[in-house]
Amino acid sequence: MSNPPVQEETLARENKAHTCLIKEPLCNLKPRTIQHLEIPKCTQNDEILTYSAFVLSYNEEHEQASWVAYELTREETYAMYERSDKFIPDLRVKGQTADGKDYKGFGYDKGHLAPAGDMAWSSVAMQESFYYSNISPQEPGFNRGIWKKLEELVRQWARDNRSIYIVTGPVLKKGLPTIGKNKVSVPKYFYKIILDYREPDIKGIGFVIPNMRSNESLQKYALTIDNIEKLTGIDFFHLLPDEQEELIESTLNLKNWRFDTPDIVGKSSMAVMQCKSITKSGKRCKNKTKNPDGYCYLHENQTHTSRKTERYDTMN
């Protein structure tokens, strides 16, 4: 199956021009203190939902998020909890989200937008990443291949740069094929945008990748943020000062980003152990955990409040 054109040749030509005409004054930019920098520009019609570790804009027409945004810090790349693997409808959505029946028999993976691997530092964040509002139909070869590779690379960049801002989602257009009784749209492309807003190397990069298996390098799919805004109609990082936004979003310099990373990153050196909690039946919980307290995501002390919960609470 050949790669479909992303609107596509025009974007490629524009992106090549931006790549060749790199504006090096990026190194002269000074970061400002900007709250909720990762959140794209919203309208009154957007259904914005906040969680402990991410924010999303839910698109009822396509039954999935248009974007998911969050900050990822170096400390949060170290996994403390095993995958939940329990996909659940999101009752906070005004209408409805997809459910397991929508995916059954169609051959698509339940693909994360905010990856479970980015949420493994918190039991609450891990559980929330399995809401269907954070899930989109993905080809198995894409989800388990190049998309997973990009997710792992982004975690390494969070380690390299102390913290980064991430916005990710499907490219949603009218006329997409659908699956299930809830008519969940199957995107042809997914995007991921990363902003490093720390000195000494403030920089941004984006990727648009076809929803199919690919053996190409990730560099092939790199784009300026400007080009992804044109493709999606979303205004990213609009809270930046205008001159900074224009420069960061129009510049793409692959040399500023480290691509020679291991295939497996973000793994904790802590040993996996069986949860020490006792279930209602009187038996020991069978879940595995890296939590030093010895409890899995289901039995962790729920009084814990994360830094991000407090951060996103200020939006409500």
pLDDT at residue 312 above 70?
no
Phi, psi of 128 (to 5 degrees): -65, -25
Number of domains in the chain: 1
H or E, element range at 63 = none
CATH number at residue 46: 3.40.570.10
pTM here is 0.79
pLDDT at 287: 75
Let me know if residue 277 belongs to a domain.
no
Catalytic site includes residue 238: no
The whole-angstrom separation of Cα 187 and Cα 180 is 14
Question: What does the pLDDT look like over 247-278, one tens digit per residue?
Answer: 999 999 999 999 986 543 334 444 566 777 77
**195 lies in a domain?**
yes
Q: Which of 112, 238, 299, 304 is catalytic?
A: 112
Asked whether residue 160 is assigned to any structural domain, the reply reads: yes
With a CB cutoff of 8 Å and minimum separation 6, the contacts of 251 are 18, 22, 23, 26, 203, 204, 224
Within a domain: residue 295? no
Backbone angles phi, psi at 51, to 5 degrees: -125, -175
Q: What are phi and psi of 151, to 5 degrees?
A: -60, -45
What 3-state class would DSSP assign to 245? helix
Residue 310 counted as domain residue: no
Q: In angstroms, rounded to a whole number, what is the distance separating the alpha carbons of residues 118 and 296?
A: 17
Alpha-helical (H) ranges within the chain are 8-20, 100-103, 123-128, 140-141, 147-161, 225-232, 242-250, 307-313
Find the domain containing 176 and state its range.
Answer: 8-259
Residue 246 counted as domain residue: yes
pLDDT of residue 19: 45
b (16+ CB within 10 A) / e for 128-152: bbbbbbbbbbbbebbbebbbbbbbb
Is the residue at 316 inside a domain? no
Structure tokens at 18: 């931006």
Q: Among 182-191, 209-218, 307-316, where is mean pLDDT lowest? A: 307-316
The Cα–Cα gap between 133 and 244 comes to 32
Q: What is the pLDDT of residue 22?
A: 45
Residue 165: inside a domain: yes
